[in-house]
Amino acid sequence: MGRFAVRRVASMVLVLFAITVLTFLIFQKIPNGDPALRLAGRTASPENIASVRHTWGLDRPIWDQYLITMQKVFTGSVISYTQRINVIDQIRRGLPATVSLAVGAGVIWLFWGIVLGMVSAVKAGRFSDRALAVLSLTGISTPVFVVGAILLYVLAFLLPIFPNGGYVPITQDPFQWFWHLVLPWLTLSVLFIGFYSRVLRSTMLDTMGDDYVRTARAKGLSERRVLVRHVLRTSLIPIVSLWGLDFAAVIGGGAIITETVFNLQGVGQYAAQSIQSLDVPPVLVIVMFAAFAVVLLAALIDILYAYLDPRIRLSG
């Protein structure tokens, strides 16, 4: 077990390192985005630009710049180009909205994904299963911004029940916090509910054919108990690991469109706004941390799997 964990962590560190390099290179290549020109302002003289280039370390060799950037990222002193404010502070400011969005939506999509997936698996082949299949495929096929726009138009404009976007901190007014987040939660959940119910349906149907399920039935357990205690419990493993990865991605700014449509001022919207103004440092940091979150959780899940299932750690 220990050896497996060490190997998994070592490969994770390698991937994390590669992520920092790749992210840095992608943004290094941004054209028309010569940071020195942007920092020095429109009417800068060549000497001025040269001095900016020097003080920001932009005239150094590329690996030097990489090291400087990474040092700044990990000590939390990255400064954005356009507004010259600390990026980490700015991300921290957006984090409550993003976390609120992720937690609420995560609970909704996990719950409904499991419920609908179970119903389809139990009713496999019947009408309700087929109807749910088309419904969840529609959910998977509808982009977040279309769902969001329709919800906003119908439930915030035609029938003004919910507010037209925006975020209210929970410390300020818990009810308004909740009321502002209902539509974003629903919007973000639709896609995942469709996806999770499909995954759960197929793993449950696979599990139902297993020997131990037949044994459970043979020893006279009620169908309900067989389904919940034996089938569902095993089938939930892939769902929960998927949930971990998706949740990490949303926290890392992956809900960029939901946040933009509903103007939540979270981490994702900060990334979107920085992209539009070609402000590299915030995007670099957010993209990198999103990937970090995913890699860390994936490694954690693998080690947890190996702990639960000896076959994995012995074969790998």
Task: Return the residues of window 100-139 that contact another protein according to CB under 8 A.
Answer: 121, 124-125, 130, 133-134, 137-138
Residues 205, 121 contacting (CB under 8 angstroms)? yes
Contact 280, 30 (CB under 8 A): yes
Q: What is the DSSP string of 219-253?
A: TT--HHHIIIIIIIHHHHHHHHHHHHHHHHHIIII
Is position 26 an interface residue for another protein (rule: CB under 8 A)?
Answer: yes
Which position among 70, 140, 237, 300 is part of the footprint of another protein (CB under 8 A)? 140
Biggest CA pair distance of the chain: 86
Task: Count the residues of the shown chain that bind another protein, applying the rule CB under 8 A.
Answer: 60
Q: Using CB under 8 A, which of 15, 37, 68, 237 touches another protein?
A: 15
Query: In this chain, which of 4, 8, 19, 247 binds another protein, going by CB under 8 A?
Result: 19
Closest CA to 35 of 76, 2, 81, 84: 81
The H helix count followed by the E strand count for the chain is 15, 0
Determine if 74 is a binding residue for another protein (CB under 8 A). no
Name the residue nearer to another protein (CB basis): 177 or 184: 184
Proportion of the chain in helix, strand, coil states, percent, rounded to 5? 80, 0, 20
Q: Select from 37, 221, 236, 275 the one that contacts another protein (CB under 8 A).
A: 275
Cβ proximity to another protein: between 237 and 275 the closer is 275
- In whole angstroms, the minimum distance from the beta carbon of 51 to another protein comes to 26
Identify residues 194-213 at the interface with another protein (CB under 8 A): 202, 205-206, 208-209
Task: Read off the DSSP letter of residue 71.
Answer: H
Handedness of CA 265, 271, 275, 278 (dihedral sign): positive
Nearest distance from C-beta of residue 144 to another protein, angstroms: 7
Whichever of 97 and 231 has its CB closer to another protein, that residue is 231
- Residue 292 CB, shortest distance to another protein, in Å, is 8
With beta carbons less than 8 A apart as the criterion, state whether 297 and 102 touch: no
Closest CA to 119 of 275, 227, 234: 227
First to last CA, the chain: 11
Contact between 97 and 265 (Cβ < 8 Å):
yes
The reply on whether position 22 binds another protein by CB under 8 A is: yes
In the complex, least distance from residue 169 CB atom to another protein, rounded to whole angstroms: 25
Tokens of 26: 């992608």
Which stretches of the chain bind another protein, using CB under 8 A?
A: 11, 14-15, 18-19, 22-23, 26-27, 29-33, 121, 124-125, 130, 133-134, 137-138, 140-146, 149-150, 152-153, 157, 202, 205-206, 208-209, 249, 252-254, 256-257, 260-261, 271-272, 275-276, 278, 283, 286-287, 290-291, 294-295, 298
